[in-house]
Amino acid sequence: MALGTLPIPGCGATAYSIFSLFLSILSPCTLAEPFPCLSIFSISGRLRRAKMGGSVAVVFDFDRTIIDHDSDRWIITGLGLTHLFNQLRQTMPWTSLMDRIMEELHSNGITVDHIAECLKRTPLHPNIVSAIKSAHALGCDLRIISDANMFSIRTILEHHGLLGCFSQINTKDLDLKRPLNRDLEGES
């Protein structure tokens, strides 16, 4: 049985993915090593042991990894454009489709603030928040590489108090190559 098939009681698929990611990065796992219940505490111990040998970088995707959803579809559903989306989906490439959806939202009086409020309702599993905060507190270099848009990522992470945990976010629309905490403090 591979590590990827071990159940983690009380964790959703996203938490399971992140726990599996941490464990696979930090050390090869054998089944001789008992894992009756993986928790943030076992991950923290592994991170501390790994840190002794040097820094640890953890790279995440965003949609369906940090959040259990696709952030674009969350907006579409949350703001009532599922019918239009389904109607146009087979006729347009994704970016053009999302541009069209944003035009429709704007024409209906939906503002950036409305979109941000919708994104803030995106749930994060509590174990995801704990895992990210613990890894950051232990000195891990946390980064995101994603095809989700920067606005959605920043809005969701900031709302959940996680934006400052990430040193870099690379997306399809913008790469932040300098540390995010400088950006948040207004430094150039």
Catalytically active residues are 61, 63
Report the residue count for the chain: 188
Rg (CA), the chain: 19
Q: Report the distance separating Cα 131 and Cα 120, nearest Å.
A: 20
Tokens of 158: 């900031």
Exposed, middle or buried, 146 (CB in 10 Å: 0-12/13-18/19+)?
buried
- Assign 3-state DSSP to the chain and report helix, strand, coil percentages, each to 5: 55, 10, 35
Instruction: Round to whole Å and give the CA distance between 71 and 119.
Output: 7
User: Residue for token digits 């949609």?
Assistant: 63
Other beta carbons within 10 angstroms of residue 64's beta carbon come to: 15
DSSP structure string for 44-85: HHHHHHHHHTS--EEEE-SBTTTBSS-HHHHHHHHTT-HHHH
